[in-house]
Chain A
Amino acid sequence: NAGVTQTPKFRILKIGQSMTLQCTQDMNHNYMYWYRQDPGMGLKLIYYSVGAGITDKGEVPNGYNVSRSTTEDFPLRLELAAPSQTSVYFCASSYPRTGLIYGYTFGSGTRLTVV
C-alpha cells in the first residue's frame, strides 16, 4: 500500500540553491497536486495536473515549476530557493471526480527549510 510517496522527508537548502521534490503514486490517479503548508496556515495549492503532459497553476505558483511526463510522477522544482519557500510541501492525487467523494490521497510531506 504505497499510495503517494514523497522524497525527501526533510531538506535544508541554502538561499539560491535549487532542488526537486519528488512525488510518485501507484494508484493510477489522473489528478495530482502540490500544496504548501506554512505555520498557522492552511494548505495552499501550488500546481496541479489532470494527466500526463498537462499542468496548471494554483494559488501560489511563483518560484516553482512542475512537469508531468508520466501518470505516476509529478516532481516539483524549486529554482533559486528563497527563505519564503520554507514550508511543508504535500503532494496529493485523486481520480477525476472521486476527489469530491473520497478526498485526495496525500503523501506524508516534505519539510523544507531555506537558510
Chain B
Amino acid sequence: AQTVTQSQPEMSVQEAETVTLSCTYDTSESNYYLFWYKQPPSRQMILVIRQEAYKQQNATENRFSVNFQKAAKSFSLKISDSQLGDTAMYFCAFIKNTGNQFYFGTGTSLTVIP
C-alpha cells in the first residue's frame, strides 16, 4: 500500500517571502507520479504542480517548484514570493503509473500574512 505523510498541519508565511511544505511517501513502486493540490476555502481542488518519478529534474510552475528526492521518498513544495491568494490547504498526492487512485496526505494549512 502507498502512504503519503505531511508532517506540518499548519504553516504561515509573510507576504512576498518563501515557504516550503514537506511531504514524504512510502511505496515499492518504481514508476509513479506526485502531485501538489491546493484547496482554498471554496473547497475546489486545484492542481498546483506534478512530478514524474522517472524524471530527475525538479518541476517548476511559475512561483511554485518542488524538491524531489526519489531515494529519500521526499517531495517538498516551495512557494516563492508568497501571495495572499496562496492561503489554502495544500495536499500532497501520489498515484502509480498503472493506478486509478490518488493517495493523499493529510494536508498542510498555509496562511499568508499581509
Contacts and interface: CB of A to CB of B under 8 A. Distances in A.
Interface of A: 31, 33, 40-45, 48, 50, 58-59, 88, 90, 92, 99-104, 106, 108-109
Contact of B37 (A33, A44, A103): A103
Contacts of B44: 106, 108-109
Nearest to B104: A42
A9 B93 CA distance: 24
B35 interface: yes
A37 to B, nearest CB: 8
B91 interface: yes
Given A88-B43, A104-B45, 13 more contacts: A42-B4, A42-B93, A42-B104, A43-B104, A44-B104, A48-B100, A92-B45, A100-B95, A103-B35, A103-B37, A103-B47, A103-B50, A108-B43
Given A88-B43, A108-B43, A48 B95 contact: no
A112 to B, nearest CB: 13
A40 B9 contact: yes
A39 B95 CA distance: 22
Interface residues of B, number: 23
Contacts of A33: 100-101
B33 interface: yes
B37 to A, nearest CB: 7
B28 interface: no
A90 B45 contact: yes
B105 A42 contact: yes
Contacts of B91: 42-43
Contacts of B106: 40-42
A50 B100 contact: yes
8 contacts: A40-B106, A41-B106, A45-B102, A100-B95, A101-B50, A103-B37, A106-B45, A108-B42
